[in-house]
């Protein structure tokens, strides 16, 4: 393994956790899909669930909202425009000084970036509300290529743009299939976190040279 230069964080469920905000994003997404399908909310929610199950059955991997939306023949630009206008993230979020202190320390040694399937407006508001925006050198959102994670071409563009080789990157995320599997296949290191306590252990992992915490997964 080469020297680590960059840490690429997922945003939602990784740099913060909020079941309530996740539920609100799901609710607004179902409303957006209902509009596009000309269906009621309940039908849109049911069809979204069916689409996600079909994707999982086909690929054997976790399905994203963007992929399920496209599976239904919907336009992800319209979905994200609706989400950006209709989700108010701030009431669900608060700063966690432990996370911010850790990011400040990591930022001394590494470039810190966010790569999210969320859109620029909503991601920006979330990052400002939790206070991580000032620590991040770059933010890559769905608008970057309009192709959702996981996507090899988008990752290649990101590596080229930040001037860092895959072996010099650590990816941090809460969904292995979405955030970590492909970067790992391309030679990156990875760190799976499903809670803020696990995220805070990232620094100890750094002290161990950033191996791989996936265990038997
Ligand atoms: Mg996530």
Residue 24 structure tokens? 């609100």
Flag whether the pTM goes above 0.75.
yes
Kind plus residue range of the DSSP H or E element containing 82 = helix 76-86
SS3 208: coil
pLDDT tens digits for 184-206? 999 999 999 999 999 999 998 87
Task: Identify the pLDDT of residue 19.
Answer: 97
| CA 212 – ligand 1 centroid, Å | 18
Residue 126 structure tokens? 């979330």
Q: Around ion ligand 1, which residues have CB less than 5 A away?
A: 10, 12-13, 174
Task: Identify the pLDDT of residue 211.
Answer: 55
SS3 191: strand
> Which portions of the chain are predicted below pLDDT 70?
1-2, 207-217
Kind plus residue range of the DSSP H or E element containing 98 = helix 97-109
Task: Identify the pLDDT of residue 175.
Answer: 97
- For residues 9 and 115, the answer to whether their CB atoms sit within 8 Å is yes
Report d(CA 189, CA 211) in Å as an integer: 7
| CA 11 – ligand 1 centroid, Å | 6
| CA 180 – ligand 1 centroid, Å | 11
Q: Is 202 left (phi over 0), alpha (psi -120 to 50) or beta?
A: alpha
Residue 146 structure tokens? 């309009």
């Amino acid at each position: 393994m080469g020297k680590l230069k960059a840490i690429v964080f997922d945003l939602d469920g990784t740099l913060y956790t909020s079941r309530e905000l996740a539920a609100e994003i799901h609710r607004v997404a179902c409303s957006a899909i209902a509009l596009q399908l000309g269906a009621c909310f309940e039908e849109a929610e049911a069809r979204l669930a069916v689409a996600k199950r079909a994707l999982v059955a086909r690929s054997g991997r976790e399905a994203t909202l963007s992929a399920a939306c496209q599976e239904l023949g919907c336009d992800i630009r319209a979905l994200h425009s609706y989400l950006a206008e209709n989700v108010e993230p701030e009431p669900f979020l608060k700063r966690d000084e432990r996370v911010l202190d850790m990011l400040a320390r990591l930022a001394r040694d590494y470039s810190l970036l966010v790569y999210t399937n969320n859109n620029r407006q909503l991601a920006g508001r979330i990052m400002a509300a939790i206070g991580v925006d000032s620590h991040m050198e770059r933010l890559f959102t769905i608008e970057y290529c309009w192709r959702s994670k996981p996507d090899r071409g988008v990752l290649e563009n990101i590596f080229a743009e930040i001037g860092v080789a895959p072996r010099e990157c650590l990816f941090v995320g809460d969904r292995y299939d979405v955030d970590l599997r492909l970067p790992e296949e391309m030679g990156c290191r990875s760190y799976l976190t499903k809670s803020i306590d696990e995220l805070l252990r990232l620094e100890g992992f750094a002290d161990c040279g950033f191996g791989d915490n996936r265990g038997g997964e």
